[in-house]
A = this chain, B = another copy of it.
Amino acid sequence: MEKSKKPVILVTNDDGYRAKGLHALIEAIQPFGHVVVVAPTQAQSGMSHAITVNVPLRMDKIEEKDGLEFYVVSGTPTDCVKLANNQLFKDIKPDLLVSGINHGANSSASVVYSGTMAAAIEGCLYEIPSIGFSLLDFSRAPDFSAAVKFIRQIVKNALENGIETDTCLNVNIPKLPYDQIKGVRICRQNKGVWREEFDKRLDPNNREYYWLTGEFYNLEPHADDTDEWALHHGYISIVPVQVDMTAYSSIGQLRQWTWNN
A residues touching B (Cβ–Cβ < 8 Å)? 43, 45-54, 56-59, 78-79, 82-83, 85-87, 109, 111-113, 118, 121, 125-126, 153-154, 157, 161, 163-164, 166-167, 169, 183-184, 186, 188-189, 191, 193-194, 196-198, 200-201, 207-212, 214, 238-251, 253-261
Partner of A126, one of B163, B193, B210, B255: B193
* Distance of A238 from chain B, by nearest CB (Å): 6
- Chain B residue contacts of A50, Cβ below 8 A: 46-48, 50, 113
Q: Is the CB of A161 within 8 A of B257?
A: yes
* Distance in angstroms between the alpha carbons of A45 and B200 in the assembled complex: 27
Q: Is the interface of A mostly helix, strand, loop or mixed?
A: mixed
- Chain B residue contacts of A259, Cβ below 8 A: 153, 183-184
Q: Is the CB of B212 within 8 A of A245?
A: no
The 8 lowest CB-CB distance pairs between A and B, nearest first, are: A240-B250, A48-B49, A242-B247, A240-B247, A157-B257, A56-B209, A167-B247, A188-B246
- Most chain B Cβ neighbours within 10 Å, of A50, A163, A209: A50
Q: Is the CB of A191 within 8 A of B166?
A: yes
Q: Is the CB of B253 within 8 A of A197?
A: no
* Distance in angstroms between the alpha carbons of A251 and B237 in the assembled complex: 12
* Distance in angstroms between the alpha carbons of A226 and B47 in the assembled complex: 28
Q: Is the CB of B56 within 8 A of A45?
A: no
Q: Is the CB of B51 within 8 A of A49?
A: no
- Chain B residue contacts of A121, Cβ below 8 A: 112
14 A-B pairs within 8 Å (CB atoms) are namely A47-B50, A48-B78, A50-B50, A51-B212, A56-B211, A58-B207, A58-B208, A78-B113, A157-B257, A161-B253, A186-B254, A188-B244, A188-B248, A240-B251
* Distance of A106 from chain B, by nearest CB (Å): 12
* Distance in angstroms between the alpha carbons of A45 and B184 in the assembled complex: 38
- Chain B residue contacts of A157, Cβ below 8 A: 257-258
